Structure 1
């Protein structure tokens, strides 16, 4: 209505900021080339952040970009969940309606939590992945909208952002990889005190290479002069410029205020107090205008015209006159849609709000709340409940504030804004005792809670119901410390309360939180819960306790106890109709069945759970089945079947926006791809830890798989880095077979590969001392095979043999591993084991594991060359067979890029003077090439550096001692040294390490 009123205090000339505009223009150009850009713009209040964004937005629009602006909204001390994203998406929908509709197709129900115009929000269950699921879908939505047209997404006033907005922005900036998108976010740098919640986010984003920060400095004296000239439409007096520059210290907003005040002849009356400076223009208004400024200040960042009219209680002409006075004084601005008003600068609003008397503030908030209750259409539907809660809370009326806060918590939960849900629940708990008994008696659990199984419909809401809901909300949004404190308080309250089911439920929550925080395995807490439900009639809580206990046993102590717990959990859940819990328990049972050797029945159980979850639309159970079923298929060597299920699982998790689950599925797919020899595809399946895998466990699994591939390809620096990541992820509390056994295996392999046999032996001893739990054979067989070169004593070899005797061999892949381990043990003890290696190769020829087959062929070739028949004709046949085996092994190594293994194959072939395809080319120049050593002389020098005599060198290289002596003499001459010791020193200095020593003690030289 008053949008056309001129704002004379704003300079029509944009002053300074050339460097910043250049950075923004560069970001726009990069985004136009398909490289998403992210910039954080900080600066003190009034320094010109908004003006910079407006100038850039205008320039971007002129160049064809779609610009979507959104700002964080403050209502008293509360922010609206996702407010800047909702506003920006609404603007994007207006600018690109067809593109946004196409990008949101199929996910409208979930995305409606951010943009209600897309339809009714979905009714999917709430869980730890709920918020991440919404974030993933939002990121993909923006990528799709920005696929063909540059989009600028600008979010202002991040210092007011709610926790959910901060989490979504962090996720977005960490995960955007494609699309012509520029994301800008502004914040007040002077407001970010040590405990401000934005501070850790800024520190986190600073570490991202994809995010750039711009800090706006104050204006120079020259720039202040140009700004004043623009405001006054004439060149200012130099003395006036000096005075304003001195008093404003270059703050653009203060320059405007001082310039206008001086032009109106009131400069002399101003003090240096910021508050007085900001209020002087308000106090110059007529009383109606001042009152209107106070009303708008307490209504929030932006107040709708109809809501203002209801609160002010003025006739329309008087209302318009009051608003016109405030707009003419450059205090208020009409919103772009002309439907509301806001202060031209938030500093003025804060000053006006702070100037209110306590009773005045409460009265204004009450009027806002009463007006909104009388006519809910006065504000947008997605803001209504939370704004009402804010108004009633600041009106200090517990009777009204308690139910309003609870309504706001439900609204926040429906939007997956779990941080805000927790905030409003904690506020409700603060109000609980202050609210009248009759108000509390009217509240029903079914209306406000869903975490704890609902009691009778007629039951009243209890304080413990709020605590249960808050604990779960804290777990969902990652505020686990707060949730843990809530469970502790709840259990103290329940100590004198005869409510074992509720106590057991809180102990289960505490168990989950303790595990997530790394404070323990959660076993003690589950034991308390089990004891509390013992002997009670079946119920949902009882079934949940048994399912969590069964899951704990499956992970930490599989065996008869785990079976019994899983079977009871299934029975109880089925008895009480808890379908989700029943299917979860059946998955646990299926995994235990496979681990115990009942493979087909276990796999059938897992497949049926998956099919039932899909048919009954239970996505979290279905996605868990897409993780567990292929994992068990891989465990028994059926990698191709696992990959087929995983490919469907990737698509399913992608459609449902489940980032953590996608990370687990991609990890399982990478593992199967490694098994079948598709290493390049496996490398592409590894998930960027910044994109998905928010859960620590998923990140750790991907790190272990990356380490496995890096070791096999000889990238030991990468392997060290990834193993360190895995150790950080798992820590001591993740001491489970699926985590610590692969970690131990690859740590041992790396120590062997780098020639650290003592460290490898120590790692092996620790693994053997820890023991191997039942059902862990899929991890134990490869570990024991890998660790053979680390068994530097007969005792360690005996311990490995003893451990292997207790491992099941019910699957073909486990049988093959058992044969392989037996042959490795005989080889380590000095036996050729020709028959055993032949059996091992035959076993792997029936499995689709090319790298394992190649390594066992290499061992068989070695046995043929060192322990074959004495008959000359048969020996020649052995050499021919060995040559063919080495040729096949070398071809696999070359195809996979397994450089260390290719070198080992090549070394054995050259020792035996067999014709094998040349080894893989080195990535860097040969360090001894300048010394003029031949290939054979390099082999000899390695053995000299290892301390071998001429006779030992001859035996290892299948040459005569005399020939070995000649090689040594030639090497000494070429190196210009006087003896073997100096030659060994030269070899170590140039990096020509003894390959045999890398692999372990004499006689066990090649990498396993």
Structure 2
């Protein structure tokens, strides 16, 4: 049965090939971004995507290839993207590729490929990686301007963390036509803790990303594969035997046919895969074992050096392996195992001593001549091989070098395991500090920096804690202070509330007039401001500004100015806020600091919203978002700008656009604080539209329903406002009143006038709703609210409109909101004014106000507000729906209560079923009796049946 080892006929994948082709067609229209192709090892993923690539190329598309290798888990960052970039440079030249990018952007790509020159020296480690991501995104977009572009990335189950992050970034942000990313992975390798699993789950929720699973071959398809390999139709019995033994996995079919006429099936899959290797000459097998130690791909020159063979001897030894399709020839005189399973099986056959010797040989040869591996890969290759050789000294040295290389390429998450290896080997290497030029604490500090830049907060905390345990603050106070500032940043990211003490401790350690002191004063003053301790924060900012200016640190000066502007904002001094932000922005431009520029823009947008200049805020947000992308600040200040952009849109009633902005920002994986801010904007819209389930989901995530403690007074105020709104939406004024009591009892209220008056206006609504059932509590809340109001400033039209709503001048408030072009606030004020008019007997005046409010609410699809307006319209007889049908008199909640009343349920039973209080049920029942014109629950039940209210 001996024939070809691989079928020349493409078998059994027509449906999947058609699906990929359809995805490309959809990508041309901008509807599909990426395809995730999963399947077991050996099931034919590579053959399928390469056939697809042939179809793409035949249709005029640009196809770029990149593959992940096992070595990437030890720090070979961005391996598939480097390979694709290298292919593009080989085809078009570095100058043509650079011409596709913004001026100077190729210096960012130089971190992946030295052909682009010297990498940029930008020192902001948290921005460089994001900027690299943006440049790769831009490159794909520019390539697609001329023709469809397909990026094929194989074996992403081996992808390094940075590659996984870049894959997720591209999948979320490719929104232009003609680009498609196809990625393959081993589905059977994804154990529960596999790092790819959360990435796949995340991408599965991204619009435009499709999943495609490659199944095993059917019996008929195995028969077709066998026919192609053998060159003749196999016997029925042979097909049955091969199909049952291989279970439809093409690689195993090939291996069984290679085993001979009887298609014997070895005891293990490894034996099966090795069959084709073991029939090769002994010298060929020996060289294959050497090649397997080098990885799935090994250059000819490197393999010759390690094996000690001449070019002719090496080619002679490998020719049978190439003829038998065990090994394939790749570009740049490299050899690649046909399948990673073959390499793995051969590598597993190495004896322990042989394994160490071969890795040592690779390390020695690469050390002598680094051009034996692709440019830029030598440090990581050396770290891998010296570690495999069990040479502790050189394993430590090479891991340190590779970590620095990964750091330089913004591959911070790849630096972390390399630095952990340095720490693990430290005690085994005498004089380790002298060997790498850094002490043990410096390695921990570097690891903490890498963890911080890569977002690995828990690891970063461990590194900082370990570093602090090694230092004596009396001998190295500055070093300890820097670590404590870093720890405070980690704690803030985790939502801890003890950072102030860390920062105060750090401040005590630094010299009085030093720049180090100013660097601690910056984060300390910001934390104090956000906690409502404005007076102390202002004093600290003044000191910090003096020190920063004396030492000439312009960026630090700008940071402190932005903290000062935050203080002005909290005090309601919005014009001063904008003026100081502009000073910081000017410094940012002078110093070319993207961090300062984008932070200043975000803060200015916030101030413009508070002052009622939303259209300006929206325009600046759009500009700020583009600037954030330009400076690689997309996931930091960029998402903060998007949050403020969404807030501006929400305030003027452009809710659908606001939801779109929120969803886009959330897809970028913001940090916890920013995510919560975005979710609050979404919750505001959901409350206004009556989307109760969505509101509950958001409030659960941000901890509102669990009363999770918050440290920043703005968060406390915003959470309380949403919590109150949720209870009111559920018809629970008593519970809303309890939240009002708790927030008023907090020792520090927000000094930000807009937030304060917004909350007070809502508290009036709560008290009005609860007064009928709990007059004493409502009166107490009103009195406490009045005390807070007495301390708040009234600056600007937005604050004045909220103040009018709080004081009950609803007609004036409605007029103010109309001038500000805030339709939801205007409609609510009109409803309150109509309610007051109706109570005073002015039915006509109430109807007029309601007629103005209703179209505003309908345009927003503000369902709860629409229902309130329509209900009051029916009662005053002035609306279009005033027919007074009994079914129209009752709200949806009241109909729910009535249904349970007709079943004979008690108030307590109804409360338990509807998750509301018994007092709230009593209020609902009273309203139902009044609306139906009956006096007892039995009469209400009879009326429900008579008028078919519950059909």
5+ residue gaps, structure 1, are 1-5, 445-460, 824-835, 869-877, 920-932, 948-967, 992-1008
Matches of 2:832 and 2:75 in 1, distance apart?
Answer: 67
SS in 2 for 1:381: coil
- How well do the aligned residues superpose, as a CA RMSD in angstroms? 3.8
Among 282, 305, 308, the alignment partner of 2:300 is 305
Q: Given that residues 972 and 979 in structure 1 are in contact (C-alpha distance below 8 angstroms), is that contact kept between their aligned partners in structure 2? A: no
Match of 1:441 among 427, 434, 439: 434
- Provide the residue aligned with 2:916 in structure 1: none
Query: Which string of whole-angstrom CA distances, capped at 9 and with x for unpartnered residues, describes residues 806-836 of structure 1?
Result: 222244433443333122xxxxxxxxxxxx5
- What TM-score do the two structures reach when normalised by structure 2? 0.85
CA deviations over 1:876-927 (Å, ceiling 9, x no partner): xx9988776666545644554545545555666665566x7x58xxxxxxxx
Aligned-residue offset at 1:781? 0.9
Residue pair 2:750, 2:756 contacting (<8 A) in 1 also:
no
Count of residues paired in the alignment: 905
| CA displacement 1:747-802 (0-9 Å, x = unmatched) | 32343244221222222222222254352332121111112232232222222222
Mapped pair 1:325 → 2:301 = no
CA shift for structure 1 position 163: 1.6
Deviation of the 1:231 alpha carbon: 1.9
Partner deviation per Cα, 1:260-295 (whole Å, 9 max, x = no partner)? 2316x9x77x84244444444444444442332122
SS at match of 1:773: coil
Q: Structure 1 stretch 291-300 or stretch 711-720: which is displaced more?
A: 711-720
Q: State yes or no: 1:699 paired with 2:697.
A: no
In structure 1, the residue matched to 2:10 is 14
> Which structure has the bigger radius of gyration?
1
Given that 2:74 and 2:417 are in contact with CA atoms closer than 8 Å, whether structure 1 keeps it comes out as no
The counterpart of 1:603, out of the listed 547, 570, 578, is: 578
1:504 corresponds in structure 2 to 481
- Decide which moves more: 485-494 or 638-647: 638-647
Aligned partner of 1:1003 in structure 2 is none
Residue 260 of structure 2, aligned match among 255, 259, 262: 262
Going from structure 1 to structure 2, the CA distance change for 1:346 and 1:905 (only over 3 Å counts) comes to closer
Alpha-carbon distance in 1 for matches of 2:647, 2:154: 43
Conserved 8 A contact 1:894-1:902: yes
Partners of 2:193 and 2:688 in 1: CA distance: 46
- Conserved 8 A contact 1:558-1:592: no
Tell me what 2:69 maps to.
73
2:775 counterpart residue number: none
Alignment pair present for 1:375 and 2:369: yes
Aligned residue in 1 for 2:685 = 709
1:404 is matched with which residue: 382, 398, 405? 398
Q: Which moved more, 1:551-560 or 1:186-195?
A: 186-195
Per mean C-alpha deviation after superposition, the further-off stretch among 22-31 and 319-328 is 22-31
Q: Deviations over 1:510-565 (max 9, x none)?
A: 222122223445234334323433xx254454333221211211111332111122
1:259 deviates by 1.5
Structure 2 match to 1:480:
457
Counterparts of 1:246 and 1:677 in 2: how far apart (Å)?
64
Question: What are the ranges of 5 or more consecutive residues in structure 2 without an aligned counterpart?
Answer: 771-777, 899-928
User: 2:943 maps to what in 1?
Assistant: 983
- For 1:147 and 1:740, the matched residues in 2 are separated by 48
Q: After alignment, is 644-653 or 840-849 more displaced?
A: 840-849
User: Partners of 1:859 and 1:193 in 2: how far apart?
Assistant: 58
Describe the SS at the equivalent of 1:688: helix
Q: Is 1:295–2:290 an aligned residue pair? A: yes
**Match among 596, 604, 611 for residue 629 of structure 1:** 604
* Equivalent in the alignment of 1:1001: none
Quick one: distance in 2 between partners of 1:883 and 1:488? 67
Shift of 1:200: 3.6
> Does the Cα contact within 8 Å between 2:831 and 2:853 map onto a contact in 1?
yes
Q: Which residue of 2 aligns with 1:185?
A: 183
Residues 847 and 191 (structure 1), Cα distance of their counterparts in 2 relative to 1, 3 Å cut: closer
Measured in 1, the distance between the counterparts of 2:480 and 2:32 equals 49
Q: Which residue of 2 aligns with 1:105?
A: 102
**2:376 partner SS:** helix
8 Å contact 2:887–2:947 — kept in the other structure?
no
Q: CA deviation at 1:741?
A: 1.8
- Partner-residue secondary structure (3-state), 1:433: helix
- CA deviations 1:306-338 (Å, max 9, x no partner) are 222333333222222223233223321101x25
2:47 pairs, out of 46, 51, 58, with 51
Work out which of the residue numbers 407, 423, 446 in structure 2 matches 1:413: 407
Please name the residue that 1:826 is paired with.
none
Residue 518 in 1 paired to residue 514 in 2? no
- 2:507 and 2:705 map into 1 onto residues whose CA distance is 29
Q: How does 1:632-651 map to 2 (within 5 A)?
A: 632-651=607-626
* 2:784 matches 1:799: yes
Q: Note the C-alpha offset of 1:619.
A: 0.3
User: Are positions 1:762 and 2:760 aligned together?
Assistant: no
Moved more, 273-282 or 693-702: 273-282
Q: Deviations over 1:481-515 (max 9, x none)?
A: 11111112122222587322222222222222122
**TM superposition score normalised by structure 1:** 0.81
| Corresponding position: 1:529 with 2:506 | yes
Instruction: Please list, as runs of the form range in 1=range in 2, the aligned pairs for 1:831-980 lying within 5 A after superposition.
Output: 836=809, 840=813, 847=820, 849=822, 851-853=824-826, 855-856=828-829, 859-860=832-833, 867=840, 888-890=852-854, 892-893=856-857, 895-898=859-862, 900-901=864-865, 904=868, 934-935=883-884, 979=939
- In 1: Cα distance, 2:60 partner to 2:252 partner: 34
Which residue in 2 is equivalent to 1:584? Answer: 559
- The answer to which of 40-49 and 153-162 deviates more is 40-49
Does the CA-based 8 Å contact 1:580-1:621 persist in structure 2?
yes
Structure 1 position 344, deviation (Å): 1.6
For the 8 Å contact 2:762–2:806, the answer to whether it is kept is no
- Picking from 520, 533, 536, the partner of 1:545 is 520
Distance (whole Å) between structure 1 residues aligned to residue 224 and residue 716 of structure 2: 66
In 2, Cα distance between equivalents of 1:858 and 1:218 = 64
Partner of 1:38: 34
Distance 2:495 2:574 in 1: 33
Residue 962 of structure 1: aligned partner: none
Q: Secondary structure at the match of 1:185?
A: strand
CA distance in 2, matches of 1:78, 1:982: 75
Deviates more, 1:617-626 or 1:388-397: 388-397
Q: How far apart, CA to CA, are the structure 1 residues paired with 2:615 and 2:706?
A: 29
- Per the TM alignment, residue 419 of structure 1 is displaced from its structure 2 partner at its CA by 0.8
Of 379, 382, 389 in structure 2, the residue corresponding to residue 395 of structure 1 is 389
- CA shift digits 1:231-264 (9 cap, x unpaired): 222333455445544543433223222322316x
Distance 1:202 1:902, change over 3 A: closer
Please say if 1:813 is aligned against 2:788: no
Cα distance change, pair 277–909 in 1 and its aligned pair in 2 (3 A): closer
Q: Give, in whole Å, the separation in 2 of the partners of 1:739 and 1:789.
A: 21
Give the one of 443, 464, 488 matched to 1:466: 443
Matches within 5 A, 1:153-192: 153-192=151-190
Question: Taking structure 1 as reference, are residues 350 and 678 closer, same or farther at Cα in structure 2, changes over 3 Å only?
Answer: closer
Q: Distance in 1 between matches of 2:931 and 2:471?
A: 85
Tell me: CA distance 1:287–1:576, structure 2 relative to 1, closer, same or farther (3 Å): farther
8 Å Cα contact 1:76/1:298 also seen in 2: no
- Provide the secondary structure at the position in 2 that maps to 1:40: strand
Identify which range, 98-107 or 731-740, moves more after superposition.
Answer: 98-107
Shift of 1:568: 2.6
Aligned pairs for 1:338-377 (under 5 A) are: 338-377=332-371
Query: Which residue in the other structure is 1:491 paired with?
Result: 468
**Cα shift at 1:473:** 1.0
In structure 2, the partner of 1:957 is: none
Shift of 1:856: 3.9
